[in-house]
Amino acid sequence: MTNVTLNPQQPKTAEMAQRMDEVKGRSLWADARTRFLRNKAAMVSLVVLVLVAGFAFFGHALSPWDNETIDWDVLGNVKEMGKPSLANGHFFGFDDSGRDLYNRVVQGTRISLMVGVVGALIAVFVGTTYGAVAGFIGGRVDNAMMRFVDIAMSIPYMFVLILLLVVFGRSIGMLFVGIGLTAWLDMSRIVRGQTLSIKNKEFIEAAVATGVPWFTIIRRHVVPNLLGVVVVYATLLVPQMILTESFISFLGLGVQEPLTSWGALISEGTSTMGYGTLWQLFFPLGFFVISIFAFFFIGDGLRDALDPKDR
Amino acid sequence: MHISMKSALFASALAFASPALAAGTAPDGSALADDQTFTYRVLDEHSSVDPQIVEDVSGSEIVRDLFEGLYNQDADGNLVPGVALSHEVSEDKLTYTFSLRPEAKWSDGKPVTAGDFVYGWRRLADPETASPYQWFVSVMGLANGEAVTAGEMGVEELGVSATDDHTLVVTLSAPLPYFPLTTTHASTFPSPKWVIDEFGADWTAPENIVSNGAYVLTEHVPQERSVRSRNEMYWDNDGTIIDDVVALVINDENVALTRYLAGELDRTEVPAGQYPSMKEEYPDQALSFPRLCSYYFNFNLSDRGPEATMNNDVRLALSYAVDRDIIVEKVLQGGQFPAYSFTPAATANFEVPTVDYSTWTQDERNAKAVELMASAGYGPDNPLELTYLYNTSEAHKKIGIAVAQMWKQTLGVAVTLENQEWKTFLETRGDHDFQVARGAWCGDYNEASTFLDLVHTDSGYNDAAYHNEEVDTLLGEAKSLEDPQANYTRIEEILAAEMPIIPIYHYAGVYMMSPAISGSWPVQNVEQNWYSKDLYKVAE
Amino acid sequence: MFSFIIRRLAVAIPTLLVLLILSFYLMQFAPGGPFTSERPLPPQVLANIEAKYGLDQPTWKQLLSYITGIVTEFDFGPSYKYKDRTVNDIIAQGFPVTLTYGTIAFALAIIVGGALGIAAAIRQNTWLDYFAVGFTIGAQVLPNFVMAPILILIFTLWLGLLPGGGWNGGQWNHVIMPVIALSTSYMASVARLTRSSMLEVLRSNFIRTARAKGLPENVIIWRHALKPAILPVVSYLGPAFVAMVTGSFIIDSIFSTGGIGYFYVNAAFNRDYAVMMGLTFLLGSMTILFNMVVDILYAWIDPKIRL
């Protein structure tokens, strides 16, 4: 199995490596865009995601209600009177506290999309950089950086969050800090693993031999070769981030009533699913599922588009 | 004393002495089920089954089955003989002499003696035991109690002694009319010295434990289940019907309800808001009965509190604008009671005073509230801003949401809801670092002072930091009064006028209970001190 | 490799020490303590209790005696909340539970997830691929706090086939639902990572070369493509394995399994410091150990990777 890394088309000389790279550098993003635009599933998903985002930011305009006012006549009898109805403008019915569910889903979508996207971006940027640097430099630096990750993976996360709350008070900003703290850890381990393998390839060795600065090598040679895995893993992280938000909010650090999120809505809907108000689970979960599907196909499309071997 | 304790106890002792039940027949005459296993849900793992260490409700339920103290409670919450048959009170009301049941035995066959109680009570007070209920010796008013817990006196100085194996003498530091009521508390149960000496901290393991109650602990799988089975040595073993009691730990109340409906449980709680539909679907299984607990909001009258709520009118307005009927009928929907006084109506020998705003309609209250707010200088141009702090929980959240909307819609108050995880919440509230915070209290014993003591200036639970000389004096007097109702009435009236706290509702126990067991459930016992030995399952 | 393991174990000790010290101080700074309760304890009573557990000592002394206890007697101290038991008792009772359902769930995740991922990659854009993608997304988006109550509703209430909770010493019918609820999302992640990584490898030049040489497709996939393709999956599985065998709060609390996943979160809420430290120690040592195993696997997958 020694031919695993054999790559006959790689240029053998350092000079060629340099030139090839410049050619690639110019066409990489244009190529990727063309390929991505040709991917039907990804394009449909992108449209879906744009629609969901549009719903999140402009959906409230379609409804005469808001996300916090309680309808006292419905409260207490949501099961019978709180059903979804186009006639009275409560498109998604009522939540268990007698509030308009449509507007709550709209507003929850706004929070959760932001959480998912920001969390995934932090994971991608911090995790990739950290993992690639550790893996590429290797040795003691790698060992120290990875032991730090071991510690960060095992430290009682909840206390970190509580301390953040005590020190900085609650705010949406702190929610993203709380999410970001752990989002990148697994990513950095995956990226480092890939980097360890990539750095032994001949084109990297060639670049090292010609004295290209290490950070440039990481940026131009290593990262493009592991983007596929990064993008796919990032899409796996999105639903995790969105659900982690509800735990952070449980501690009082994140989103507070009357604001809400998909995580909170889904968990409320789950707790009442046995009592005849299934729409309370169905609508938020539906939006969650649709969006995660879209994220996944976009991720796959990006992966295909960015694959350097296809170029 | 509220009742003639001695004669009442003597009468019930007689009643107990002649059970003579025909085999297979329940006390109410119906046929008993073959399987006498009672299985119920508990929210969380119990803290301990050591009588002097246990501190949580579900642990105390187990301890009341495993151990037996001087007195038990009957289905209505009245005292009935346990290990003690009766007691006599001295002229100065400082000395209580209890006569113990000679036939009482530990599960290893040893007789239960007065010395076992002395050991247990000293153990409770001993600083080395570090019992979280150490302060209960002060509630009981035992002579030298505080000095012993502070380590200033030896445990031998505690006001309890045994003149012989079956006579226990208790000395109080001051007359306390309700002292006998405190002897049903788990921390006052006897402990087996020889077992504790032999096994140390492991003595409560099922394989080691020796107990004197109707049941012995036979199995304990933490965070899953605990099982207690009939104690053959128990003096009234023949009168005990339930053979095994199984407590299953189920954290999620909705999952617990699913498992109840699947027939895995005989009893579980009904989640907030689901009682009406449960009652409709299972009329013979959904139960609701009053509990001795009060739910309220604290204002913050300390230096750290907001300027606005220092104004008496603002506090009144905020209280008036809370529509308690909506809270109990539309949010909780479990037969709870709207509260206009702090002390629940269910409290024994307590008559709820009529405070003015309790008789108004909500429209009248709202109108008055708007007027008061305006006079305090708040209105559309100058809206009041408040933060309401609660600990994270579905039911607290729903109440917070509803009240915030009431204040907003009626008074134009901008309310920010803030939730915190339990311990953070306790710390924040204890530090008086809040504007309005939720609070709840369940009675330690069935007497109004267990509630009203909270508004005493020095109470550790006076989170509102309320201070009123008159209230403090009235509370002090009430301790030794034969009939303290007049004092309690006056205190409730002061509270209604100054409104340091907003009473919201008084609790109800809301359960799904198998029809086989519900006939014998003590629904009248507002403290819900239930004893498995008094339960039975009838054949369906 | 032997010297690699020795080197890593030597680093593991200071790593664990740093973890314990950090966690210890983190807990000290959090508001509330193990004996903060709804009913505030009188100062004297609180002092007695703290004296009993040594919490009246300066924090560095507490930490020192705690670490000494671990090193000399492997004693993690008493639980402040569940006073009948020690931390060692709690771990001894709860870890076998999560280890059992976690290992089964892990095996399922690898076997089913891996097989789905490989099959989907080989048959890209066929019904099999679509099924695999649909299944994995479905499993990923149905959070376990939604799935677990639905499983109980179906299998316990409606069908009456399985008990709704409890562990019963690990009897098979108590294990099924926790395993399903825990494994599906990991299964989905494994499948997706395997699929995309496999696709990438199948398009690489050396596979093209192998195809050009006329090697049979089976040989290409199993002998040449699989190994490099599982590299990112292995990276993912290290921490995932630790997470699975140390249990899940949601699984333990919904199914009342009595596993340590519940205690890990509950101890934090209760400020049960000793339990928290004991479980952090366990989690930390497993993380260090299995990330080391992952590194060893790297060298097996790609011999050019130097340990």
Q: Is residue B263 part of a domain?
A: no
Q: Are residues B327 and B452 in the same domain?
A: yes
- Give the span between the Cα atoms of C284 and C9, in whole angstroms: 13
CATH number of the domain bearing residue A108: 1.10.3720.10
Task: Encode chain B (540 residues) as per-residue pLDDT tens digits.
Answer: 333 344 444 444 444 444 444 456 777 778 888 889 999 999 888 888 999 998 888 899 999 999 999 999 998 888 999 999 999 999 998 999 999 999 999 999 999 999 999 999 999 999 888 888 888 898 888 999 889 988 888 889 999 999 999 999 999 998 888 888 889 999 999 999 999 999 988 899 999 999 999 999 999 988 889 999 999 999 999 889 999 999 999 988 889 999 999 999 999 999 888 898 899 899 999 999 998 899 999 999 998 889 888 888 999 999 999 999 999 988 888 889 999 999 998 888 888 888 888 889 989 999 999 999 888 888 888 889 999 999 988 889 999 999 999 999 889 899 999 888 888 888 888 889 999 999 988 887 888 888 888 888 888 788 888 998 898 999 888 887 878 888 889 999 999 999 999 999 999 989 999 999 988 899 888 888 899 999 999 887
Q: Is residue B539 part of a domain?
A: no
Would residue C214 be called left, alpha or beta, if left means φ above 0 and alpha means ψ between -120 and 50 degrees?
A: left
Q: Is residue B272 part of a domain?
A: no
Query: Closest Cα of chain A to C84: distance in Å?
Result: 24
User: What mean pLDDT comes out for the span A207-231?
Assistant: 85
Residue pair A284/A110 in contact (Cβ under 8 Å)? The answer is no
- What is the domain range of residue B53? 2-18+25-246+514-534
Please count the structural domains in chain B.
Answer: 2
Q: Is residue A79 part of a domain?
A: no
Q: Is residue B285 part of a domain?
A: no
pLDDT at A17 over 80: no
CA distances from C103 to B221, B527, C289 (A): 22, 46, 16
Give the nearest chain C residue to A309 (CA atoms): C204
Give the nearest chain C residue to A287 (CA atoms): C141
Pair of tokens at residue A134: 């550790």
∠ CA A292-A195-A129, nearest 5°, is 65
Query: Who among C90, C94, C163 is closest to B264 (CB)?
Result: C163
- Give the span between the Cα atoms of B131 and A115, in whole angstroms: 46
Residue with tokens 């009965």: B289
Q: Is residue A269 part of a domain?
A: yes
A153 touching chain C per CB within 8 A: yes
Q: Is residue B348 part of a domain?
A: yes
Exposed / middle / buried, residue B511 (Cβ in 10 Å: 0-12, 13-18, 19+): buried
Q: Could you report the per-residue pLDDT of A130-151, keeping only the tens digit for each?
A: 999 998 888 888 889 999 999 9
Secondary structure of A105-158 in the HEC alphabet? Answer: HHHHHHHHHHHHHHHHHHHHHHHHHHHHHHHHHCHHHHHHHHHHHHHHHHCCHH
Q: What is the DSSP letter of B217?
A: E
CATH number of the domain bearing residue B204: 3.90.76.10
Give Cα B213 to chain centroid, integer Å.
21
C270 touching chain A per CB within 8 A: no
pLDDT at B399: 92
Bond before A258 cis per omega within 30 degrees: yes
Residue type for position B272: A
Query: Closest Cα of chain A to C10: distance in Å?
Result: 12
Query: Who among C15, C200, C265 is closest to A147 (CB)?
Result: C15
Q: Are residues B463 and B369 in the same domain?
A: yes
Q: Are residues B114 and B79 in the same domain?
A: yes
Q: Is residue B463 part of a domain?
A: yes
Query: Closest Cα of chain C to B411: distance in Å?
Result: 31
Q: Are residues B239 and B336 in the same domain?
A: no
Q: Are residues B306 and B352 in the same domain?
A: yes
Please count the structural domains in chain A.
Answer: 1
Q: Are residues B317 and B300 in the same domain?
A: yes
Q: Are residues B198 and B323 in the same domain?
A: no
CA distances from A62 to A70, B334, B436, B448, C21 (A): 19, 36, 36, 54, 54
- Give the span between the Cα atoms of B244 and B217, in whole angstroms: 10
pLDDT at B52: 93
Q: Is residue B386 part of a domain?
A: yes
pLDDT at B23: 56
CB atoms B55 and C37 under 8 Å: yes
Residue type for position C138: G
Q: Are residues B324 and B402 in the same domain?
A: yes
Q: Are residues B368 and B487 in the same domain?
A: yes
* Helix A223-250 and helix A279-306, axial crossing angle in degrees, nearest 10: 160
pTM of the model: 0.87
Residue pair C107/C303 in contact (Cβ under 8 Å)? The answer is no
Q: Which residues of C289-304 are buried (b: 16+ CB within 10 A; e: fewer)?
A: bbbbebbebbeebbee
Ordered DSSP codes for C135-152: HHHHHHHS-HHHHHHHHI
pLDDT at A28: 65
Q: Is residue A157 part of a domain?
A: yes
Pair of tokens at residue A75: 């409260």
Query: Who among C31, C133, C283 is closest to A166 (CB)?
Result: C31
Residues 84 through 123 of chain C touching chain B, CB cutoff 8 Å: 84-85, 89-90, 93-94
Pair of tokens at residue B450: 């267990």
Query: Closest Cα of chain C to A214: distance in Å?
Result: 18
Would residue B413 be called left, alpha or beta, if left means φ above 0 and alpha means ψ between -120 and 50 degrees?
A: beta
Label the pairing between strands B71-73 and B79-81: antiparallel
Give the nearest chain A residue to B327 (CA atoms): A76
Secondary structure of B480-504 in the HEC alphabet? Answer: CCCCCHHHHHHHHHHHHHHCCEEEE
- Give the span between the Cα atoms of A250 and C182, in whole angstroms: 22
pLDDT at A25 over 70: no
Task: Encode chain C (307 residues) as per-residue pLDDT tens digits.
Answer: 788 888 888 888 999 999 999 999 988 888 888 888 877 788 888 888 888 888 888 888 888 888 888 888 888 888 888 888 888 888 998 899 999 999 999 999 999 999 988 888 888 778 888 888 888 878 877 888 888 899 999 999 899 898 888 888 888 899 999 999 999 889 988 988 898 888 888 888 788 888 888 888 888 888 788 888 888 899 899 999 999 998 888 899 899 898 898 888 888 888 888 888 899 999 999 999 999 999 888 888 888 887 6
User: What pLDDT band is residue A8 in, cutting at 50, 70 and 90?
Assistant: very low
Q: Indicate the range of A22-36, A95-109, B104-118, C225-239 predicted with least confidence.
A: A22-36
Q: Is residue B528 part of a domain?
A: yes
Interface mutation vs chain C, best among B423, B428, B442, most C CBs within 10 Å:
B423
Q: Are residues B45 and B145 in the same domain?
A: yes
**Which residues have CB under 8 Å from B432's CB, separation 6+?**
B300, B302, B303, B304, B305, B463, B465
Q: Is residue A180 part of a domain?
A: yes
Q: Are residues B433 and B408 in the same domain?
A: yes
A22 touching chain C per CB within 8 A: no
Pair of tokens at residue C283: 């989690």
Exposed / middle / buried, residue B153 (Cβ in 10 Å: 0-12, 13-18, 19+): middle
pLDDT at B7: 40
Query: Who among C23, C27, C232 is closest to A229 (CB)?
Result: C232
Query: Who among B127, B130, B222 is closest to C82 (CB)?
Result: B222
Query: Who among C22, C203, C280 is closest to A310 (CB)?
Result: C203
pLDDT at B85: 93
Domains along the sequence of chain C with CATH? 91-306 (1.10.3720.10)
Q: Count the Cβ atoms, other than its own, within 10 Å of residue A182.
A: 20
Q: Are residues B324 and B219 in the same domain?
A: no
Query: Which of A130, A226, A219, A203 lies closest to C231, judged by CA?
Result: A226
Query: Which of A261, A234, A233 lies closest to A248, judged by CA?
Result: A261
pLDDT at C57: 86
Q: Is residue A80 part of a domain?
A: no
- What is the domain range of residue A217? 53-63+91-310
Give the nearest chain A residue to C139 (CA atoms): A289
Q: Count the Cβ atoms, other than its own, within 10 Å of residue B219.
A: 13
Give the nearest chain B residue to C41 (CA atoms): B132
pLDDT at A308: 63
Query: Which of B532, B457, B461, B520 lies closest to B491, judged by CA?
Result: B457
pLDDT at B296: 93
Would residue A226 be called left, alpha or beta, if left means φ above 0 and alpha means ψ between -120 and 50 degrees?
A: alpha
* pLDDT, averaged across chain A: 81
Pair of tokens at residue B186: 């788990």
Q: Is residue A103 part of a domain?
A: yes
Ordered DSSP codes for chain A: -GGGG--TTS-SSHHHHHHHHHHHHHHHHHHHHHHHHH-HHHHHHHHHHHHHHHHHHHGGGG-S--SS---TTTTT-HHHH----STTS-TT-B-TTS-BHHHHHHHHHHHHHHHHHHHHHHIIIIIHHHHHHHHHH-HHHHHHHHHHHHHHHHS-HHHHHHHHHHHH---HHHHHHHHHHHHHHHHHHHHHHHHHHHTTSHHHHHHHHTT--HHHHIIIIIHHHHHHHHHHHHHHHHHHHHHHHHHHHHTTSS--TT---HHHHHHHHHHTGGGT-THHHHHHHHHHHHHHHHHHHHHHHHHHHH-GGG-
